[in-house]
Amino acid sequence: MAAPPALRVVEAGARVYRRTWRGSVISCFLNPALYLLAMGVGLGKLVDQGAGSSDLAIPYLTFLAPGLLAATAMQTAAGDASHPVMAGIKWRKTYHATLATPIEVHDLVLGHLGWVTIRVTFVSVVYAAIMTAFGATTPLEAALAVPPAVLVGLAFAAAITAYTARLKDEIGLSNMFRFGIVPLFLFSGTFFPISQLPDWIEPVAYATPLFHGVSLCRGLALGVAFEAPWAISLAYLAAWSAAGTWLAVRLMRRRLVV
């Protein structure tokens, strides 16, 4: 029985990664550990001792770790859904070659998102283990936070794939990271509650997918109250994933099919 066409795309992604995985070790695994060490342990001691203003009822490391789990999932997905997609469309044109086979555009997009989801899952599991090693949470609670982190990754991967499909050059990718991913990383509740933001920015932060992912990961990993209703957060991330996938297929077909 022949494998589904989308699975062939996943297999191709895995084969490429087998040759290039060493280059992602630092960004995927060492960076989160360094962030936890510097921000959670280093800065966290100052926060916990009251050198900064904090209303946290838990150690700062414990507060920070689940937020970084969601943020790491976002960054991993953004990396895999931006430059590799542009390479497939324009630089190396591997997507054109792929579509010369029985694989259709929707198979290409679903396979690509499937591979990104696998990557995000792997990175999230490793990060959850690091989070546990730092004593931020228990192994069981860390494991519970992995699925929402993966959903965060899928939501961003789908949306960024759609965004990349309409770009003519890499300038738009640089702008996306500079004006999109970095501000989301800083102001979506990863490092501090969004209630600490100015009143006019707080609703903007609430509307970001990363905030809802952080809320889910933190609530499950720490057993604390969710910053947003969990059902709304799940539905919101699922909606981003579905809408992004639909739009990615539509824009990719417009870009690749003559």
206 within some domain: yes
Is 150 in contact with 121 (CB distance < 8 Å)? Answer: yes
Query: Among 137, 119, 108, 146, which residue's Cα sits nearest to residue 27?
Result: 119
The confidence score (pLDDT) of residue 161 equals 98
Residue 161's contacts (CB-CB under 8 Å, 6 or more residues apart) are 81, 85, 109, 112, 113, 244, 248, 252
Residues 114-137, mean pLDDT to the nearest whole number:
93
Q: Which two tokens stand for residue 93?
A: 């044109």
Distance CA 113, CA 154 (A): 7
Asked if pLDDT for residue 2 goes beyond 90, the answer is no
d(C-alpha 73, C-alpha 55), whole Å: 27
Give residue 234's domain range.
5-16+25-44+56-256
What percent of the chain has pLDDT above 90? 70
Question: 196 pLDDT exceeds 80?
Answer: yes
Q: What is the pLDDT of residue 17?
A: 85
- Residue at 80 is within a domain: yes
Residue 51 within a domain: no
Tell me how far apart the terminal alpha carbons of the chain are, to the nearest angstrom: 31
Average pLDDT value for the chain: 90
Q: How many separate domains does the chain show?
A: 1
Within-domain flag for 49: no
Q: Is 94 exposed, middle or buried (0-12, 13-18, 19+ CB in 10 A)?
A: middle
pLDDT for residue 53: 47
Whether the per-residue pLDDT at 201 is higher than 50: the answer is yes
Greater pLDDT, 237 or 22: 237
Once rounded to an integer, what is the mean pLDDT over residues 75-98?
Answer: 93
Residue 49 has pLDDT above 70, yes or no: no
